[in-house]
Amino acid sequence: MAYRDVVAFLAISFGLAFLADVLVFTISQNVPSPLVLSQVALLWGLFRMYTPTVGAAVALRMSGKSISGEFKSYLNVRDKAVYWYFLAPLIVYIALGIYFLIGLAFNVIDLEKPVRIIAEQGKISIEAARVLLLVQLVSAYLVALTINALYALGEEIGWRGYLYKRLGSAPSLGNSFIVGTVWGLWHATAIGLLGHNYPNLKWLGVPIFVVLCIPLTFIMLILVSRTGSILPSVSLHGALNALWALTILTNNLEDATGELLGGNGLLGILSLVLVATIAKIFLGTRGNVN
């Protein structure tokens, strides 16, 4: 079978993620302690995000390739990769800004909402809450480059490393569709069982998230091809996880409607499509590394 290594990669990545989701779902139904559940969630996130790395390692072993050699080639630490590692998170800030502009135009977001939440929870003034929110926005950049990057690396080795290379390493719409769809579907049981990103829509949120992952993958593949390294996609992924929750906090719409139209829904998709278009224009036609 020509693609048996890819089949093994997908089976292991999806299978281990599914088992992790079922385990956490079972624990959540039987352990009421918020403290325990928060600790379980941290371990779940770390384990789950490294299932594509495990799948890639097994697939590489099956095909007789050096696991360490291939992983090093995915990272390909070099000046250009390091440069874009530090720049890539800024793309998420741009996407967030575009989302806010669109959201304000359609009157579906309230930029003061997270300020009020911080003020109420911290029992501080509105002015102090604004300063604290600004500090959190700036510090999210450092979080993206450090702890979030450590988590995101596990996925990027699999999706933008192994799978992308197996598809020929061309940042095409077709490859973006394939990698993005696989990436989105890998989240299916986390969304459906645990309500990850879509606590109200649950299983209905799966196809929405798949669509969201496609333009995001397009941006990532341009960066990977431009630098010959997954490092920029790692930091971009880390920034997304650090910042994109703000689209939920600013959402004026409630429940399923907010999930359908908000940052993880239609307006988020539109924002990422616009950023992907900008990335294609300014980054996609020059400096690519095979």
10 Å CB burial of residue 278 (0-12, 13-18, 19+) is middle
Answer yes or no: is 61 within a domain: no
The model's pLDDT over 199-256, given as tens digits with 9 standing for 90+, comes to 999 999 999 999 999 999 999 999 999 999 999 999 999 999 999 999 999 999 989 9
Asked whether residue 171 is domain-assigned, the answer is yes
pLDDT mean over 131-137: 96
What pLDDT is stored for residue 254 in this prediction? 84
Q: Which domain holds residue 278?
A: 76-283
Looking at per-residue pLDDT, the higher value among 33 and 76 belongs to: 76
Q: Where are the beta strands (DSSP E) in the chain?
A: none
Given a cut of 80, is residue 288 above it in pLDDT? no
For residue range 149-180, what is the model confidence (pLDDT) as tens digits? 999 999 999 999 999 999 999 999 999 999 99
Residues facing 251 on adjacent strands = 109
Give me the pLDDT at residue 205, please: 98
Q: Look at residues 215, 236, 223 and name the one whose alpha carbon lies nearest to residue 76.
A: 223
pLDDT reported for residue 32: 81
Looking at the chain, the number of H-run helices and the number of E-run strands are: 17, 0
Q: Is residue 199 part of a domain?
A: yes
Over residues 72-86, the mean pLDDT reads: 97
Question: 1 pLDDT exceeds 60?
Answer: no
Residue 40 carries which side chain, given as an amino acid letter? V
- Mean pLDDT confidence for 98-120: 95
* 251: exposed, middle or buried (Cβ count in 10 Å: 0-12, 13-18, 19+): buried
Q: Assess whether pLDDT exceeds 90 at residue 3.
A: no
Domain total for the chain?
1
Is 262 within the bounds of a domain? yes
Phi, psi of 106 (to 5 degrees): -95, 5
In a domain, 264, yes or no: yes
At residue 285 the predicted structure's pLDDT band, cuts being 50, 70 and 90, is: low
Q: Is 267 part of a structural domain of the chain?
A: yes
Residue 62 lies in a domain: no
Contact 283, 226 (CB under 8 A): yes
- Report if residue 143 sits inside a domain: yes
Q: What is the mean pLDDT of residues 28-57?
A: 94
| 87 contacts 45 by C-beta, under 8 angstroms | no
